Structures are given as structure tokens and as C-alpha cells.
């Protein structure tokens, strides 16, 4: 193998390796793009609910209303007076559109032998229809809404169900303040504040089923993220394809070797062209002492040291060439054949 060829092989390997490493880095960035991309919008939501218990006329309590957070005799309750509050705070000013409503679900369940709760009854109510609003150029907004829940009505309805069908059920009134809005990047957010009020029990209490404070981050829309990832994959694929093409060409070139004679003589004529003269007639060596050489480099050295040309003669109808160096009365000959490769 000549030095030029050797360097070419090294260059192909290095370039192909760089292409593959570059492709790996690019594709890896595409895969992890969604994880690594910084948020474009941060916000905090504070949710709160408060209530009072309105009692039926009685001689036991000195006040008509009891404060939140207690336990109450179910038969003494007339209404729950509930207030919901939803506060949104973002880190940038934007325009917002929001819609909210209040719904309720009366859910009845029974316990099976495996002690699992099985739902047997579910009735839905819309207590407050959809209400919408828009606000502009703000980084926060709040929604407050109050509603009175006729506890006595729902409690009596659940008891009537038990009496009618002769089964004892665990009844809960799930009260939901539902809100949906478009945040700063026009992505829809849906949220809820849920309260659970037990029915048919002797004692009633209110369970808050929501997180009071949540912090969230908004990243670009999934469509934008996917477009960026596709771009990464395309560029990574281009580098992979380029590396594969280089390696494939190198393998093909390596496997597709020239015939030995052609390979040898072409290399000699190419790399020693300044020394070589090609003739078409065979030399008359009858008056010269002929010396056959086994090593090409010896012939090259003789030509360079004596500043004479190497004479090239192609033997007709054979894969064979004679290389001559004539010095005084001597003819030095090196024969190029198809027996072995001179160059690696």
C-alpha cells in the first residue's frame, strides 16, 4: 500500500467516525429536546373554598349558621353556603379567556365481599351554567363564585333511594367548581376544585379534594417540539447516511482490486513517471551484459544514482513488462508480471 493510499484510508475512517459521532449527538439532542427545553411560561395557581352551614330552625343552637371545618348533625342542616376562589398568577403579562361552571354528582356506592366500593347510582347536576370572560395584558386573574347547596334536598333524595330499593348505600355529593382557560401560549388548561359532602350519615362534614397551591410550567406546543425534533433527526440521518456512503465506497474500492499486472504497472508508471520512458520496440541487448534484478527499488536506485531513464517495454500479448536501466555495458532488467503485487 502506498503512503497516499494509506492516508486516504485513514482519512475515510476519521471522517466516517466524525459523521457517526455527530449524528449520535444530534439525534440524542432531538430525543431529549422536550426534556431539556426551558419553559416559556411559569405560573402558580391558588385554589380555595370556604363555607358556612345554615341550620334548620331549632332550639339547640344559638346561631343560624355554623362556621367551616366542623362536624354537623345531618338532620339539622338546611344548606351549605359555599364560596369558591381560583387565583392564577403568571410570570408574564398576557391575554386570557376563561370559562367556569359548577356541577354536582350524587354518587351511591355499596361494599362488595372484597370490601371494594362499587358504584350503583350516579346522578349529575349543573348548578351554575357556563360563564365566560376575557381579560387583557395581565399576569394574574381571579374568579370567585358562591353557591347555596340544598343539603336537605340531596340528603332526603339519597334516603328515598335507600327506602325505595331496600339497600343501604354510601352516598356522597361531589361538588365541583370547574374552570378552563387559554393561557399565554394559547394552550388550554382545565382545572377543578372538588368538595365531597357525605349524605345519609348521622354526621356531616366537608372534605376538600384538591391541592390548594400548584406550580406549573408551560413549554412550547407539542407540534413545535415535534418539528424541532424532526429537524434534528433529519440532520442526524444525513450525517449517518454520509458516513455509511463513505464506508461503503471504501469497502467496494478495497474489494474490487485491479488485476495484479495492471495494478503493478499502473503504480510504477504513475509514481515514477519522471524517470520512465516507454518504447514500443524491444531493445537489442546482444552487445550488453544483462543483469536481472529481483527488487524494483534496486532498479530505481540505479536510475537515480546514474541519472538515467528507466526504459519501459510492454511485451506483446502478455501481462508482462520489462523495465531497463542501461549503464555502460550493462543492461539491468526488472520484469513486471502478474505473479505478485509489488505494492500493498
Per-10-residue mean pLDDT for the chain, 344 residues long?
A: 56 77 75 67 92 94 92 94 94 87 95 83 95 89 94 94 92 96 73 95 93 83 66 77 77 66 88 91 91 92 93 92 93 90 72
**Same domain, residue pair 237 and 288:** no
- DSSP codes, 299-325: HHHHHHHHT-PEEEEEPTTSS-EEEEE
Q: Which residue has the cell 366537608?
A: 206
Assign residue 163 a region (left: φ > 0; alpha: ψ between -120 and 50; beta: otherwise).
Answer: alpha
Distances in Å between the Cα of 196 and the Cα atoms of 105, 248, 331 are: 10, 69, 113
Residue 218's pLDDT is 74
Query: Do residues 45 and 87 both lie within one domain?
Result: yes
* Distance of alpha carbon 242 from alpha carbon 245, whole angstroms: 5
What is the grid cell recorded at 48? 380555595
Please name the helix (run of DSSP H) or strand (run of DSSP E) that holds residue 35, with its range, or none.
helix 33-36
Query: In whole angstroms, what is the distance from residue 330 CA to residue 290 CA?
Result: 6
CA 334/CA 312 separation, integer angstroms: 10
The residue behind cell 402558580 is: 44
- Residue 3: predicted pLDDT: 44
DSSP 340: S
Check whether residue 242 and residue 134 sit in a common domain: no
pLDDT at 1: 43
Instruction: For residues 164 and 175, give the distance between their C-alpha atoms in angstroms, rounded to a whole number.
Output: 25
State residue 241's pLDDT score: 82
| Domain annotation covers residue 341 | no
Is 278 found in the same domain as 243? no
What is the pLDDT at residue 259? Answer: 81
Domain assignment of residue 110, yes or no: yes
97 plus 240 within the same structural domain: no
Residues 15 and 98 in one domain: no
Q: What is the largest CA-CA distance in the chain?
A: 150
From the number of C-beta atoms within 10 Å of its C-beta (0-12, 13-18, 19+), residue 108 rates as buried
pTM: 0.58
Sheet with 330-336: list strands edge to edge. Answer: 276-279, 310-314, 321-327, 330-336, 289-292
Cβ–Cβ < 8 Å for 205, 71: yes
Give the domain range for residue 24.
Answer: 3-36+224-255
pLDDT of residue 50: 95
Q: How many domains does the chain have?
A: 3
For 221, the 3-state DSSP assignment is coil
- Assess whether 14 and 85 both reside in one domain: no
Amino acid at each position: 500500500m502506498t503512503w497516499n493510499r494509506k492516508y486516504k484510508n485513514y482519512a475515510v475512517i476519521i471522517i466516517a467516525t466524525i459523521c457517526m459521532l455527530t449524528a449520535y449527538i444530534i439525534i440524542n439532542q432531538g430525543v431529549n429536546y422536550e426534556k431539556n427545553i426551558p419553559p416559556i411560561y411559569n405560573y402558580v395557581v391558588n385554589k380555595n373554598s370556604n363555607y358556612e352551614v345554615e341550620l334548620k330552625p331549632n332550639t339547640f343552637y344559638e346561631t343560624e349558621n355554623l362556621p367551616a371545618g366542623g362536624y354537623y348533625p345531618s338532620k339539622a342542616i338546611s344548606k351549605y353556603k359555599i364560596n369558591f376562589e381560583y387565583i392564577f398568577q403568571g410570570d408574564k403579562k398576557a391575554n386570557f379567556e376563561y370559562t367556569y361552571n359548577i356541577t354536582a354528582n350524587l354518587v351511591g356506592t355499596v361494599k362488595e365481599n372484597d370490601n371494594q366500593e362499587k358504584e350503583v347510582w350516579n346522578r349529575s347536576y349543573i348548578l351554575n351554567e357556563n360563564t365566560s370572560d376575557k381579560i387583557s395584558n395581565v399576569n394574574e386573574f381571579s374568579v370567585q363564585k358562591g353557591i347555596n347547596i340544598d343539603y336537605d334536598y340531596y340528603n332526603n333524595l339519597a334516603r328515598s333511594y335507600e327506602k325505595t330499593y331496600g339497600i343501604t348505600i354510601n352516598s356522597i355529593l361531589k361538588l365541583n367548581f370547574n374552570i378552563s382557560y387559554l393561557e399565554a401560549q394559547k394552550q388550554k388548561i382545565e382545572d377543578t376544585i372538588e368538595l365531597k359532602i357525605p349524605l345519609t350519615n348521622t354526621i356531616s362534614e366537608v372534605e376538600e379534594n384538591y391541592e390548594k397551591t400548584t406550580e406549573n410550567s408551560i413549554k412550547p406546543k407539542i407540534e413545535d417540539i415535534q418539528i424541532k425534533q424532526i429537524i434534528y433527526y433529519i440532520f442526524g440521518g444525513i450525517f449517518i447516511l454520509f458516513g455509511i456512503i463513505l464506508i461503503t465506497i471504501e469497502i467496494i474500492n478495497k474489494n474490487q482490486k485491479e488485476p495484479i499486472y495492471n495494478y503493478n504497472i499502473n503504480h510504477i508508471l504513475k509514481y515514477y513517471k519522471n524517470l520512465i520512458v516507454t518504447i514500443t520496440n524491444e531493445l537489442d541487448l546482444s552487445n550488453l551484459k544483462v543483469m536481472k534484478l529481483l527488487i524494483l527499488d534496486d532498479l530505481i536506485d540505479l536510475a537515480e544514482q546514474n541519472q538515467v531513464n528507466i526504459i519501459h517495454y510492454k511485451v506483446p500479448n502478455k501481462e508482462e513488462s520489462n523495465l531497463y536501466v542501461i549503464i555502460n555495458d550493462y543492461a539491468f532488467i526488472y520484469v513486471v508480471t502478474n505473479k505478485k503485487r509489488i505494492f500493498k
